[in-house]
C-alpha cells in the first residue's frame, strides 16, 4: 500500500524519533480526553519511579523534578 507523502515537519519529527502515529492519535482526542490520558500516564510514571526509588533506597523527595 502507498504511504502518504510526509510534510517537512512530519519528516523532521519522524527523523528525530517521534512516533507520528501516536501524535496523530492524540489529535483525535478531545482536550478533556488528552488531560485524562496524560494523568494516567503520569500516575504510571510516578508509580514506576516510586518503586525504583524504594528498590534502590532513594528517599522520595530527592527524585522529584519538574518542567
Partner 1 sequence: MESLLNLLKILTESDIDFVIIGGFAAMIYGSSQVTQDIDLCIAMNPENIEKFRKTLGPYHPVHRMTPQKLSFLKHPEELKGIKNLYVKTDLGVLDILGELPGVGSYSEIASRAIDTEFLGHKVKLVSIDDLIKSKKIVGRPKDHATVLELNVIRERLKK
Which residues are near partner 1 by CB under 8 A?
7, 9-10, 12-13, 16-20, 22-24, 26-27, 29, 31-32, 34-36, 38-39, 41-42, 45-46, 64-67
- Closest Cα to residue 58, out of 67, 48, 49? 49
Residue with Cβ nearer partner 1 (2 or 28): 28
Smallest distance from partner 1 to CB 22, Å: 5
Smallest distance from partner 1 to CB 29, Å: 8
Mention every residue, 6+ apart, whose C-beta is less than 8 A from residue 29: 37
Mention every residue, 6+ apart, whose C-beta is less than 8 A from residue 60: 50, 53
Amino acid at each position: 500500500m502507498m504511504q502518504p507523502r510526509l510534510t517537512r515537519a512530519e519528516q523532521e519529527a519522524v527523523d528525530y524519533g517521534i512516533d507520528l502515529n501516536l501524535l496523530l492519535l492524540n489529535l483525535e482526542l478531545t482536550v478533556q480526553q488528552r488531560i485524562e490520558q496524560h494523568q494516567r500516564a503520569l500516575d504510571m510514571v510516578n508509580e514506576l519511579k516510586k518503586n525504583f526509588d524504594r528498590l534502590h533506597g532513594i528517599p522520595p523527595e530527592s527524585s522529584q523534578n519538574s518542567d
